[in-house]
Structure 1
C-alpha cells in the first residue's frame, strides 16, 4: 500500500482519540484486511505507545494491496468480567447475533475477537429451543469453533478457552478504507461499526444502486433467483417461494427505474418468463400462481396473483412494452375464484380451485387491491374499479386499519387516485400507520416494511391535504410521523445494509455487498429482504427529493 495512504490512515486513527487503555498503559490496534473475495484476516497489535503499535500496522500495510479493504479498530471501554457472568448475559439475549462487544480470553489480547469476527463466524450460537422473535436466544459460546479459528489466525493453539476464569470485553472506535476513501465508523448503538452517515442522500443513492445490482445478480441464467443465503452459516437457501419471486421482480423494476440501468431489463424479462413458465397454472381463461408443496400438492395463493400482476404491470410501465398485458388480464380473471359473496377473499386454493385456507396472512387483501389499482392505471376498466371498491369497503367495515399493512397503504394511495373523495379510505390509511407508530419508533431490529409503511403514510397525508380533507389529520401528530420516517430511513440503512466494512467478515465478501440482511436470523439475506429494503429506501429518497436537480 502506498505510504501516503498509510500515513493518512495513521492520522485518521489518531483522530479517533481514547487510544490508550490508561489502566494498563497499552495501545491496541485491531487491523482487518480483505482482498474483497476472501474473508478478512485480523491482526491485533499492541505497544506501550501509539507509534510502537502503529509501526507494526505499517509493516502489515506495506505488503497490502492498494485495492484491499482495510478496517482499523481501537478497543475501548475494556471491561474484565467473569466468564460465567458473560455466559449468563448471553443466555438472556433475546436475539441471536445481538452481542455487540468484542471478547478477549486473556489480558494481552492474544485471543481477542472483534465483535464482527464473533458474529461473522457465529461463534455465539443460539440454543436449540430458540424461536426467532418469540423466545430468548439462550445463546452460548462455541468454544471449539473459536479455538479452531484462533489457531488458524494466530498460528498457535490458544489456552483452553472454556477454562478461562475471566474475559475482557470491549467496544471499538474505527475507520474503514475501501481502496478509495477512508470513512470513520459509527459508535452509535444501532449503527456500531458501520460508516457514519454524514451525507444521507449520497449513502442512499449508493446503497440503492448497489442493491439493484445485487438483486439482479441473484437471477440465474435460467431466470430463477438464487433465493437467499445465511452468510454467517455459509449456507445457500434451498427453498423457493413463488410469491417472493414476482414481488422481488416488482422491486427490482422499481430500482432499475430509479438507477436508469436499463441494461438489466433483459435479466428481469428472463425471470418473468421463467416464473410464467414454471410457476403459473392455467384454468380456462384464467391463470394462477402456483406454489409447489413438499407433499407434492400445489397451492394457489391470492398473494401470488397480486405479485404476478404487480410485476407485469411494473414491467409495462418501465419498458412501455405491453407484451404481458394478456397475462395480466388472465391473472385478474383468476381473482374471482378467490372471492366470497361477502366481498372477502379466500386466501389459498387447491389446484382444483376448492378452498384450502380461508385465511393465511392479513396482507393478501392489501396486496390484491394494490395490484388491481396498478392494473386499472394501465387499462381503466369498470369491473376492476368495482372489485377494488368492494374490497376496500369490506376492509373499512372490518377495521383493517388495525393491521398496519404497508400493502394496504400502497393500495389506498392508488385507490385515492380513482376515488379521490372517499374519506373512509383516508381514515383507514391513517389508522393503519398511527396505531403502529410506537412500535415503529421502538423496534430494535431492521424492519424495512416499517419504512415502506411510513413512505406510503407520508404520501397519503399529502394526498389528504391536497384534497382539502385536513380535518382528518387533526387528531394526529404529523410531526411525530415525519420524525419516525426520517429515523427509520437511517435506521434501516445502518442496521440492514451489507456495506463493505461489514461484509468483509463473511465468506466471499464482495458477493454480499449491496445485499440486505436480517441480523437476528443468521444475517439472512433473501430476495424478499432485498425487495423490501430497496422499495423502502428508494421511495423515501424519491419522495424527499422531489423537484431537486442533482
Structure 2
C-alpha cells in the first residue's frame, strides 16, 4: 500500500494504475450512500459540493441540491462535467463534500462569533442564501483569505474585499454581497470524501479541528514514512543548484517569501539529515550536500586562529546559527563516517565558547567583524541550541572542552529555572548530556521541562510542532531512567499514562498541518506546496523551518513507534 493510500476506504481501492473520472465518480457515489443526512427546511434536504483540481491551479467547485441524494447528485455531477469541460480539467484531485448541519445567523452575529475564533481557525462554510445557491466551503474561505484581517489581528474577521473578489471569481462579476449587520447569512458544516487519480477513496473528517482532511487510524510507521518522505522531498526541491533554499511561500496566493536566514538554513539541513537517515533517498542527500557547501561558502567566516562564526543578514552573529551549523555538520559526519567538517565544527564551537560567560550564560548576538555585543539576549532557544550542538560535537570528538561548557551552561539553566521555558532544544540537550553525565540533577531538569506542561500539549489549538520534539526527547530520558535504580524517585512523580496520551495526541494532531492534496487543492498553486507543512495562524505559511520542526518530531516519533510496536501490529493509536 502506498503512502497516500493509508486511511483509505480500502474496499473501494483499485487494483492498479489510474482510475478514470467516471470510475472514481462511481466509487464516490457508492461510498456516499447512508452518509449524507437530510436537512430540515428552509435548507435544501441534500447539498453536495465537488471540488476538482489538476494541481496547477486552485480547485474549481461544482454543486447540486435536491430532495434526495440521487437528485442532488445528478445536478452536482452535471455541473462538475460542465466546469471541467470548460477548463479542460482531467480531475487529478477530486473531492466531494456534503452539508451536514446549517444555521441561519446575521452578519453581525457571524462577526461576533468570528472574534472568538483564532485567526484562520474558522472551520465552517458560509452560504449567502437558504437555498445554498451561492456557498463557500471552509477551505475556500481560508484559501482565499476571506476571513483574514492581517497578521496584526489575532482572530477571524470578514475581509469584505477578499470575500467579494472570490465570490465574483466563482459565481461571476454580477454577484453582489450585502454585508449589512442585519442581513442573513447561513453557516454550515460538511463531511466528505477525497479521491486522487489512483482511485483510492479517503474519508474526510467533519466538523472540528481535524475538519476536511483524511481520517488516519491507526497512525502507523508506513503512513509516517510516506509523510516524512513527502516533506523531505519538498525540502530537497527547495534547494537550488547553488545550495540556497527557496525560503518559503504564502500559499493562498502563491507568493514567495523573499527573506533569508542562515540559522534556519542550517537547522533545516539538520532536519533533512534526520529524514535521510530514515528514507535514504539519493536526491535528498544530494540536496543536503549542496546546502552544507552553501552554508560554508556563503555564511561562515573565520576570526583569529581558532574561531569561526556564521554571519547572517545584517552582519549579525547569532549564537543559534553557530549551533545549528554544528548540528547539521555533526549529523552529516555521524551518518557518513567522515571528518570532512571537523575543523570547521571545532572553530564554530570555539566561537560559541567565546560567547559564553563565566557563569555559564551566553551572549546571543554579536556584530561582524568587530565581535561587539549587539544583544545579550534575543530568544531563549539560542542557548539550548548552543548546548545541544556542543554535546553533539562532544559525541564525535570526546573533547572535554565541549561537555565542560555544557555542564557550566546547565549550572546557569538550573539556577535560573530555564525549565519554565519548556524549550525543545533544551530537552534535546538534556537527553544528550545525560547519556554521558547521568546525574539526577540533569534528569530532574529534563523532567521539569515537560512536567506540568502536558495539559498544554493536549489542548493547544495550533499544531505547534516543537511540542512533539520536546516530548520525544523527554520520552528517551524517561526510558533511560527506568533502567537506573536511583531514578525511581524521579519517575514516581511522572504521570506516564498522561505523558503517553499527550505524546501520541500531539503526533496525530500534526497531520492537521500537512498539505494533503485535499487541503492543497484550495491554494493557488497546489503542486508548489503539496506534501509540505504549514502554520495555519500565519496564513498557512510554508517556510523551510516550519517544515523542519514537523519533520524532526515525526522522524523521532516514527522511530519510537517502530520500536514500541514492532512486536504487535506496527501501529499506535492516539
Tell me which interval the TM-score lies in, with the shorter structure as reference length.
Answer: over 0.9
TM-score, normalised with respect to structure 2: 0.90
Correspondence for 1:408: 426
Mean CA deviation greater in 237-246 or 46-55: 46-55
Separation in 1 of the partners of 2:346 and 2:213? 46
* Match 1:288 to one of 309, 331, 336: 309
Q: Which residue, 66, 90, 113 being the options, matches 1:89?
A: 113
1:133 maps to none
- Per-residue CA deviations over 1:246-287 (Å, capped at 9, x if unaligned) read 000000110111112133212111111111111112102211
Query: Do 2:123 and 2:209's aligned partners in 1 also have CA atoms closer than 8 Å?
Result: no
Distance 1:127 1:361, change over 3 A: closer
1:513 to 503, 515, 530: 530
Matches within 5 A, 1:110-121: 110-121=133-144
The residue number in structure 2 matching 1:364 is 382
Aligned counterpart, 1:107: 130
Residue in 1 aligned with 2:243?
A: 223
Are 2:307 and 2:347, in contact at CA under 8 Å, matched by a contact in 1? yes
Q: Does the 8 Å CA contact 2:39/2:101 hold for their aligned counterparts?
A: no
Task: Please list, as runs of the form range in 1=range in 2, the aligned pairs for 1:385-534 lying within 5 A after superposition.
Answer: 385-420=403-438, 422-468=439-485, 469-493=487-511, 495-534=512-551
Q: Indicate the SS of the match to 1:287.
A: strand
Gaps of 5+ in 1: 131-135
Q: Deviations over 1:492-541 (max 9, x none)?
A: 11x21111100000011021111111111111111111010001111011
Structure 1 residues 96 and 233, CA gap change in structure 2 (3 angstroms):
farther
**Which residue in the other structure is 1:178 paired with?**
196
User: Does the 8 Å contact 2:39/2:45 carry over to 1?
Assistant: yes
Q: What is the distance in 1 between the residues matched to 2:353 and 2:21? A: 67
**Which segment drifts farther, 189-198 or 229-238?**
229-238
Q: Does 1:275 align with 2:275?
A: no
CA distance in 2 between partners of 1:106 and 1:67 (Å): 29
2:6 aligned residue: none
Which residue pairs with 1:3 in the alignment? Answer: 22
Is the Cα contact below 8 Å between 2:326 and 2:345 reproduced in 1?
A: yes
- Residue 53 of structure 1 is matched in structure 2 by 72
- In the alignment, is residue 41 of structure 1 matched against residue 60 of structure 2? yes
Distance 2:74 2:524 in 1: 29
TM-score (normalised: structure 1): 0.93
Report the secondary structure of 2:398's partner residue: coil
Q: Distance in 1 between matches of 2:327 and 2:161?
A: 49
For the residues of structure 1 that align with 2:320 and 2:260, how far apart are their CA atoms?
15
Q: How many residue pairs align between the two structures?
A: 537
Q: 1:220, 1:151 → 2: CA distance? A: 38
The Cα of 1:31 is off from its aligned counterpart by 0.6
Unaligned runs of 5+ in 2: 1-19
Q: Secondary structure at the match of 1:335?
A: helix
Q: Which moved more, 1:513-522 or 1:392-401?
A: 392-401
**Superposed counterparts of 1:199-348, under 5 Å:** 199-201=218-220, 202-284=222-304, 285-293=306-314, 298-348=315-365
SS state of the match for residue 105, structure 2? strand
Q: CA offset at residue 76 of structure 1?
A: 1.9
In 1, Cα distance between equivalents of 2:187 and 2:168: 20
User: Residue 318 of structure 1: CA displacement?
Assistant: 2.1
Question: Quick one: distance in 2 between partners of 1:453 and 1:21?
Answer: 48
